[in-house]
Amino acid sequence: MDQTLPTTSSKSDRRSKSKTPQASKPSLMMAFFSCLAWLYVAGRLWQDAETRTLLASLLKQNSAQRPKTLTVEDKLTVLGCKDLERRIVEAEMELTLAKSQGYLKSQFKQSGSAPGKKLLAVIGVYTSFGSRLRRNVFRVSWMPKGDALSKLEERGIIIRFVIGRSANRGDSLDRNIDEENRVTKDFLILDDHEEAQEELPKKAKFFFSTAVQMWDAEFYVKVDDNIDLDLEGLIELLQSRRGQESAYMGCMKSGEVVAEEGRPWYEPEWWKFGDQKSYFRHAAGSLFILTKNLSEYIYINSASLKTYAHDDTSVGSWMMGLQATYIDDSRLCCVNSRQDKVCSLA
């Protein structure tokens, strides 16, 4: 009879069986960490995908709202303001050209003229605070008053005494002029000008600038208050020159520049007139005439126009830089005799 012998496990078998559970622990740990790493990467990829989707949506929305053409701000940024600078330079050149021609289109609105009616002349008679007696003499000689003054204006002639304001605004000097004007209504009061002998050259700026704004006339005439005027003779002379542009009319003269202080007609800036110390050609200050465009030129550039010691040389210096037509008319030379003259010394 066969007897089965009991089997016994060898030591090696027992050793291998005891090691199997221990060997699986590192594998489990590696699998666990791999799973965590996979979850982290997947999460980041998912987050990046959401960010890309959001950015794409914003970009699409922004591109839909963006204008198809560049704005002014975009152009200035891209061009670095070069185009704007070029346009400014061109505009300044055009403005300079308009000023040099003595006018700017649609700038002037005359308040003292009837719409559509162009006057022949505005005559400004320079006067001062202490000259009331002279004014009264003029009003009974060559200068009309009252209804006669109104009828003269219907003929296209405006005549006004031209005066500034006192250095002490509102004092008795100003009040007396205002009261006289309320009665006679024949003053052009320059509120921005201080009436003083040393300010006389600046008075020309204010007179022509104010007159050309108030009245639309062909000629603007400056007259001193120490002359008698043949008014009809002056009107006839102006009518013969009607339609002429850029005319600077008067008794043209030149002469010595007085460099010695204290002498009559002293010119503080004598050194500007060269070694010969001679004035340039200009109309004598007793009476001279400017056409409208030259008067407008003075108005436009009054802030930068240089004045000298006398009003006639100041105006002459302004005309030198322009395409002005100098008209030397002996009838405008005011001397003691009135023969063949429109003026004479009073």
The proportion of the chain whose per-residue pLDDT surpasses 90, expressed as a percent, equals: 43
CB atoms within 10 A of CB 324: 20
Q: What is the mean pLDDT of the chain?
A: 81
Cβ atoms of 96 and 104 within 8 Å: the answer is no
What is the distance between the alpha carbons of residues 24 and 16, in angstroms, rounded to a whole number?
13
Q: Is residue 45 in some structural domain? A: no
- Residue 234's domain comprises 92-108+117-248+285-345
- What pLDDT shows up at residue 178? 96
Mean pLDDT of 215-232: 94
Angstrom distance (rounded) from CA 144 to CA 232: 12
Tell me the pLDDT band of 106, cut-offs 50, 70 and 90. very low
Residue 153 and residue 113 in contact, taking contact as beta carbons nearer than 8 Å: no
167, part of any domain: yes
What pLDDT is stored for residue 47 in this prediction?
Answer: 66
Question: Is residue 11 pLDDT above 60, yes or no?
Answer: no
Domain count, the chain: 1
The model's pTM is 0.66
164, part of any domain? yes
Q: Per the domain annotation, does 228 fall within a domain?
A: yes
- The more confidently predicted of residues 330 and 111 is 330
- Whether 23 is in a domain gets the answer no
Q: Taking 80 as the threshold, does the pLDDT of residue 308 lie above it?
A: yes
For residue 13, tell me if it sits in a domain: no
- Dist CA 318 CA 201 (whole Å): 12
In a domain, 54, yes or no: no
pLDDT at 14 over 60: no
Domain membership flag for residue 230: yes
Give pLDDT tens digits for 114-160.
555 789 999 999 999 999 999 999 998 999 888 899 899 999 999 99
CB atoms within 10 A of CB 162: 25
Closest listed residue to residue 254, CA positions, set 196, 302, 194, 320 = 320
Check which CATH number belongs to the domain holding 137 and give it: 3.90.550.50
Residues 172-199, mean pLDDT to the nearest whole number? 94
